[in-house]
């Protein structure tokens, strides 16, 4: 990936950028509720939570929690360009079963797995994509919804439930910094290091729907370029493309790469036998 070119391309995104769907690859397995995704060569690695029992909110907080733990199984799926499942590794333990956004540092895939409730507990794993062996790296006393690794020798940056707080750690989990998220545009779901000390994060904001005929919230999508040194947002743009199930395409897993003079975006926004949608910009420099 050409880092400087990708960053330059990203900074040309605007509200007027057109995204054209290039492919819809039906997944030949149950992807459950997908969370994060990276592409390594011709294979895609997809984190997902298989929800067995949905957490239920308490009338009053109990023991510092606002809801029950629920039950589930954390997965890291591997599939090919035709959507065929190649491997499936389970991650987590006990109430810690909800994987988040993932990143690949050139050697390991970093996967946070958390309780499915805010202000809880997480385990950060590193997974060798060649052997699919998962190793616990460190634990965090909070719900970590996604992590990004600044290259093979750099720090890790993660975000809390709703991405309202950023964390920085060294590779063995020592906290280097905790900082409030200065952007309130979308809640980040997935993200990746793109070189030059920058990361791209993607996510959604669920907004009240003004139509009385539709009780579901409107999903506004967004993507942001963030300086990993300052954790400040450098450039952001809305995404308003929707999936077959009616979800904005940045709802959960997103991976962005160069496509010549345009950008290519891979997304798996739909649950349970969903599809990987592939989009490219068509007017980036117009």
* pLDDT tens digits, 18-35: 999 999 999 999 999 999
Over residues 75-93, the pLDDT tens digits come to: 999 999 999 999 999 999 9
The whole model's pTM is what?
Answer: 0.96
CB 276 within 8 A of CB 262: no
Two structure tokens written together for 249: 């395409």
CB 139 within 8 A of CB 123: yes
CB 69 within 8 A of CB 117: yes
Contacts for 52 with CB less than 8 Å, ≥ 6 apart: 70, 71, 72, 73
Phi and psi angles of residue 6, each rounded to the nearest 5 degrees, phi first: -60, -45
Whole-angstrom Cα distance, residue 12 to residue 236? 10
For residue 226, the cross-strand partners are: 199, 233
Closest CA to 168 of 114, 227, 251: 227
Two structure tokens written together for 44: 């895609």
Residue 148 has pLDDT above 80, yes or no: yes
Over residues 234-266, the pLDDT tens digits come to: 999 999 999 999 999 999 999 999 999 999 999
């Amino acid at each position: 990936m050409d880092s400087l070119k990708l960053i330059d391309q990203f900074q040309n995104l605007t509200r007027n950028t057109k995204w054209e769907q290039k492919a819809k690859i039906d997944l030949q397995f149950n992807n459950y509720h997908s969370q994060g995704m990276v592409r390594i060569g011709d294979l895609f690695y997809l984190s997902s939570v298989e929800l067995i029992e949905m957490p239920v909110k308490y009338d009053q907080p109990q023991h510092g929690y606002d809801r029950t733990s629920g039950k589930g199984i954390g997965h890291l799926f591997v599939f090919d360009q035709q959507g065929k499942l190649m491997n499936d590794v389970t991650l987590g333990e006990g109430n810690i079963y909800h994987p988040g956004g993932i990143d690949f540092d050139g050697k390991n895939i970093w996967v946070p797995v958390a309780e499915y409730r805010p202000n809880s507990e997480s385990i950060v794993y590193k997974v060798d994509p060649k052997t699919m062996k998962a190793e616990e790296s460190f634990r965090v006393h909070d719900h970590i919804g996604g992590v990004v690794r600044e290259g093979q020798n750099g720090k890790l940056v993660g975000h809390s439930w709703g991405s309202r707080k950023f964390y920085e750690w060294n590779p063995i989990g020592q906290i280097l910094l905790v900082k409030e998220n200065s952007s309130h545009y979308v809640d980040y779901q997935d993200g990746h290091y793109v070189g030059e000390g920058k990361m791209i994060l993607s996510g959604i904001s669920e907004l009240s729907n003004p139509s009385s005929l539709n009780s579901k919230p409107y999903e506004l999508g967004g993507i942001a370029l963030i300086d990993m040194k300052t954790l400040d947002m450098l450039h952001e743009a809305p995404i308003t493309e929707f999936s077959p199930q009616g979800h904005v395409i940045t709802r959960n897993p997103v991976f962005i790469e160069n496509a010549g003079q345009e950008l290519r975006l891979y997304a798996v926004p739909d649950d349970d036998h969903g599809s990987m949608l592939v989009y490219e910009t068509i007017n980036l420099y117009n």
